Structure 1
Amino acid sequence: MKRPAPAWWTAPQPLWLIAALFAWLLATAWVRPLMAPDEGRYGGVALAMLRSGDWLVPRLDGLPFFHKPPLFYWIGAAAMAVTGPVEWAARLPSVLGAGTAAAALFLFLRRWSTVRLALLSTVVLVTTPFFFLGAQFANLDMLVAGCISATILLAAGAALAKEREEPWRALLAGAYLFAAAGLLAKGLIGLVLPVAVIAIWCAATRRFAALRLALWLPGWAVLLAVAGPWFVAMQLKYPEFFDYFVVTQHFRRFASSGFNNEHGFWFYLPVLAGLTLPWFAWVFVPRGKDDAARPGRSDVDWLMWIWLAVIVVFFSLPRSKLVGYVLPALPPLAFLIAQRVLAGRVPETLLPKVRTMTLAAAAVCIACVGAVTVLASPPGARLRLPAGQAVAPGDQVLMLDSYYYEIPFYWNLREPVLISDDWQAAARDTRDNWRKEISDAGRFEPARAAATLLDRTQLAATLCAPRVTWLVGSNTAQLANPWLFRAQLVAVNESAAAWRFAGSATRDPHCLDVAPAPASGTNGDD
């Protein structure tokens, strides 16, 4: 007698499943230190928001940082208000984005496809190494991917429900709400990409009447009420905001070749194939015998194919490409892989293979976290002050010719650090690097920037004061700054070092002067 399939395979409970998804995604979010530069940058901005009490203006080292909107920082700062500056709190926005994408995929497919396909698609998604690592990486890509996924699935669900004369308004309001969250997570792509996917899907499936849902006034009221106030407030406070945030950070970055990480149009194809193993291997497995009798593509099939294509093509167009940009393509890819797994096969006999593959994929996810922990831990995260030493109130921290994003987070600093560099040259630099980020931020508040960003000629005036300064720089910084030999070396690793400089109680302007070495090769005969 054939044993019946377990209940979790035929009728999983949504609440328990969603709770399990979040628990799995959080499982290793605390394990590794924040990576440079992204995790240190975004975790540091969230912590600065909490420390300053200014929940409107994101700040990098005390200066307005408008590369991205504030949703990630709001979530991270709220989490750290409860837990303090710990890694998993800094990564919680990404975990929430991933959990939202997975939960939305399950609930949508459970209603508009089969329960088995809904469950397997969700399992494939959350045990895909690319998705799992993205969920535990503190930057904005996974958060906006979750918002985009929820917007697409809620909007499609509203269109399908309206056709069948089922309740649809709450679904559509949810789509507009998540579109607003996407705008606050990473800007225009949070709205533009879902609109493109749904519009092409409606055209491909001849749902022209459903396109009118894009003009639903209550939805636009929700979107503007949620997303509008922050953008209006920033434009009123900083007149240059629109040009920098919209024109430069959206359109110029999309079209220009002056930014980093340039790759060919084909870049995301091997990324998606390689980083979704072992599940992607099912693409090459022959279909089941009964799959030929399967009818043509359903409405859900069309949605997933169009969703995948729009995301991949859109992010393939600009020259500047980062791996995480394509994370919104993973939910439809997980569906298509799960569909291939189930194609023409008896679900009950397939169950042992699915269980084995799931355990193998989960093991790969954990192994990837371990590998990243060992191989990619940043210098700043390991540059800890010795036991018993800490930056006291009134001390200042100064970074020499670099900005170590993780230091404010791991040293639990409450004030911005000083940064010494050639800032006139940085203002002319067109390269996308830490100098340009901070120099651009300084344009919005020049007075604050003048007090924070020091030219190298200002070092003596800053350090020769009756206060302690903690210095952070390259572990070879003493070669270019011989006066560092007067400071106490307190921490060092393979690339960075920290010193404690006592300053000058008498404000001696020559406290950094180094006496010249005695001449060599002299004797008493001349």
Structure 2
Amino acid sequence: MQRPAYLRGKQHLSGLLVLIAAVLLLALGIGLRDPWPADEPRFALNALEMLDTGNFWIPHRGGEPYPDKPPIFMWASAAAIALTGSVRLGFLLPSLIGALGTLGLVMDLARRLYGRRIATLTGIALLTTLQFVLQAKTAQIDMLVTLWTTLGAYGLLRHALLGPARRWWYIGCVAMGLGVLTKGVGFLPLLMLPAWGLLAWRGQAVRLAWKDLALGVLVLLATIALWVVPMVLITTLSDDPTLAAYRNNILFKQTGERYAESWHHLEPWYYYLVMVISWAWLPLILGLPWLLPAWWHRARRLDARILLPLSGVVLLVVFFSLSPGKRGIYVLPGIPLLVLAMAPLLPGLLSKRWLHWLGAALLALLGGIFLSAGLLGAAGLTALAELAAKHDLSPWLWWIVLGLSAAALLYWLRPRRGMLALASWLVVFWVLWSTWGYAQLDATRSPRDMMQRVERITGDDTWLAMVDFDEEFLLQTRQPTVHFGNATPLGRQLQRAYAWLNAQPRQRWLFIDQNRADELQCADLSLARDLGLQNGDRWWLIPGKAFGGCQGDTQAAPLYVVPTSLETSPDDR
């Protein structure tokens, strides 16, 4: 196949245009939705409580210390919310900044290694990767972690491939330390050290002196210590046992124990290769039939520009595969390294006829699925109708438009430009997702309307109790609210809830999932208000007087009071 016109002659699409397009695409939709579960409401709660209490050193959730993650992402979220004055406007900004920073670093390194044209193609490749864009539009912690790991890799590669550049090596070590303070795995770029040492020994990369390695590790540890040492002092000198439990949890349980003996998200060793990378790294992996032999050829030549980032990708996947606990987002930091390993091969890859046919086939498959599902749903197919009723959603027209747009792009661009058609359709998908999709899904995934109804029923001066709560409900509460410990067994939470409710039954209510009905046999459920369906479950609002026959225990579980600034009106959010 002849090389496409956009790979020949004058380069019309500059890196600046790619960055502008990235800003427009990734920022689209900010302000159009609330934080959605699973993780977004939790981090928004952390940020709001920091702003309310002024306690930025130890994150809290609903008044309870939150030990699962270090605080940097919460700091970034709090800063964004404070600057914008709105949760809706601010909660997605850290992920947006993380994505744009990652894109800029990858393009800059590709430009220095291969020139502007390759840098532009590298940026487009990253910007069309499904998982990268999805996480850029999601307020989870991983996009900011990816920024730090990419900056760490950037500093390492600047020294190894374009150096000596010791300053960049040390900047990379600081970035890795910040990555550890964001999620704990910020050290991932160090997985390239074995390949770096081998390539330096063979004269294919700048040697990393032992002194620089030792100083870099010290810089990394010193960056981590900037938060860890004060946190340990605060929690150790405090008389609060919950802070001591926080210290032990985040230093030990959430690090080594979580990796070696994970207690949730248990998956087989092949999970990432078969169930994540196979879709999340599309369309990059469509090029593997041509990339693998090309990588092998470059490896035999000891091309450090390919081998260093590629070794980082391989060892990253191996590292996370060895842990029994796995989530798809863990491998997100591997995408920038994969794109860098592909960078010099992209022009030749995009000249492959069969790659374009693969792209066209994938687009035809995706378009066919959306179009068929949309038409069958609109026609009332039982299975789809039940699914829509469960989630209070009717996305049929949205899906039909996606299917028709795929067909239109295939007809216009033809299979010989299949990758261009696929990339264009992905832009259409993300534009519709960030506008139409947000409008369709927000009422289903955010309980804002339900919690407003709760306030109207109870009055804004009454108190609300939640047991076994999900953070999205706590985030959207509009009145004084308490809970009884997120990790406390449900039975102990209810024992404390009964005692709390019976103390002032006319001024206190319980908000609870109807699936917990078997746990409430002592209550008069004829007084319960059915709030309907939200986030896949049905909910009750029960007045305190319904629990007169329930025996409570004030010592059964801790009582946490949600900070008052969270009790705001919808307009303030």
TM-score by length of 1: 0.75
Give the aligned partner of residue 372 of structure 2: none
Unaligned 5+ segments in structure 1 are 427-434, 440-452, 505-509, 515-526
Residues in 2 aligned to 1:137 and 1:386: alpha-carbon distance in whole angstroms: 27
Match of 2:207 among 206, 209, 220: 209
In the alignment, is the contact (CA less than 8 A) between 2:42 and 2:471 conserved in 1? Answer: yes
Q: Which amino acid is the alignment partner of residue 190 of structure 1? A: G
Cα shift at 1:300: 1.4
Residue 548 of structure 2: aligned partner? 512
Match of 2:325 among 316, 320, 329: 320
**Secondary structure, in 3 states, of the residue corresponding to 1:417?**
strand
Whole-angstrom distance in 1 between the partners of 2:305 and 2:298: 18
Distance 1:162 1:286, change over 3 A: closer
Q: Distance in 2 between matches of 1:422 and 1:343?
A: 54
Distance 2:300 2:482 in 1: 63
Residue of structure 1 in register with 2:59 after alignment: 58
Letter matched to residue 82 of structure 1: L
Kindly indicate whether residue 233 of structure 2 is the aligned counterpart of residue 236 of structure 1.
Answer: yes
Q: Could you say which residue in structure 2 is the equivalent of 1:499?
A: 541
Tell me the equivalent position of 1:449: none
Letter of the aligned partner of 1:195 in structure 2?
L
Instruction: Tell me the amino acid that sits aligned with residue 201 of structure 1.
Output: W
Q: After alignment, is 231-240 or 305-314 more displaced?
A: 231-240
- Does the aligned pair in 2 maintain the 1:464–1:512 contact within 8 Å? no
What residue in structure 1 maps to residue 267 of structure 2? 263
Distance 1:181 1:420, change over 3 A: closer
Residue 406 of structure 1 aligns with an amino acid whose one-letter code is E
CA separation in 2, counterparts of 1:200 and 1:292? 17
Q: Which runs of 5+ in 2 are unaligned?
A: 237-243, 357-415, 551-573
Which deviates further from its counterpart, 484-493 or 169-178?
484-493
Q: Which amino acid aligns with 2:210?
A: R
Could you give the per-residue CA deviations for residues 327-348 of structure 1, whole angstroms, max 9, x where no partner exists? 011112233455444227779x
- Give the aligned residue type for 2:539: A
Measure how far apart 1:129 and its partner are: 1.2
Work out the CA distance in 2 between the residues paired with 1:171 and 1:19: 26
From the two aligned structures, give the one with the greater helix fraction: 2
1:484 is displaced (CA, Å) by 4.8
The CA distance in 2 between the partners of 1:391 and 1:120, in whole Å, is: 57
> Measured at CA, do residues 293 and 194 of structure 1 come closer, stay the same or move farther in structure 2, by a change above 3 Å?
closer
Q: 1:483 aligns with which of 496, 519, 524?
A: 524
Q: How much does 1:320 deviate?
A: 0.9
Distance 1:458-1:412 versus aligned 2 partners, 3 A rule: closer
1:227-267 deviation per Cα after TM superposition (whole angstroms, max 9, x unaligned): 3232112111224455422321111111115x112112111
Q: Does 1:403 align with 2:398?
A: no
Separation in structure 1 between the aligned mates of residue 318 and residue 72 of structure 2, nearest angstrom: 26
CA contact (8 A) 2:26 2:96 kept: yes
Identity of aligned residues (%): 23
Whether contact under 8 Å (1:129, 1:365) holds in the other structure is no
SS at match of 2:105: helix
SS in 1 for 2:163: helix
The 1:387–1:159 alpha-carbon spacing in structure 2 relative to 1, beyond 3 Å, is: same
Contact 1:475 1:492 in 2 (8 A): no
SS in 2 for 1:383: helix
Aligned to 2:15: 12
Deviations for 1:463-500, whole angstroms, at most 9, x for unmatched residues? 44276334321145567364354465566546233537
TM-aligned CA deviation for residue 194 of structure 1: 1.6
1:113 aligns with 2:109: no
CA positional deviation for 1:305: 0.9
Asked if the contact 1:184–1:227 (Cα under 8 Å) also holds between the matched residues in 2, the reply is yes
Q: Per the alignment, do residues 160 and 141 of structure 1 end up closer, same or farther by CA in structure 2, a change over 3 Å counting? A: same
**Map of 1:100-499 to 2, 5 A cutoff?**
100-163=101-164, 168-187=165-184, 189-191=185-187, 193-206=188-201, 207=205, 209-212=207-210, 214-215=212-213, 217=215, 223=220, 226-239=223-236, 240=244, 243-257=248-262, 259-270=263-274, 271-284=276-289, 296=301, 298-343=303-348, 355-366=420-431, 377-378=444-445, 380=447, 383-386=450-453, 389=456, 395-400=462-467, 402-411=468-477, 417-419=482-484, 423=488, 426=489, 454-456=493-495, 458-465=497-504, 468-475=507-514, 480=520, 482-486=523-527, 493=534, 495-497=537-539, 499=541
CA distance in 2, matches of 1:325, 1:513: 48
- Change in Cα spacing, 1:43 to 1:209, as seen in structure 2 (3 Å) is same
SS of 2:333's equivalent in the other structure is helix
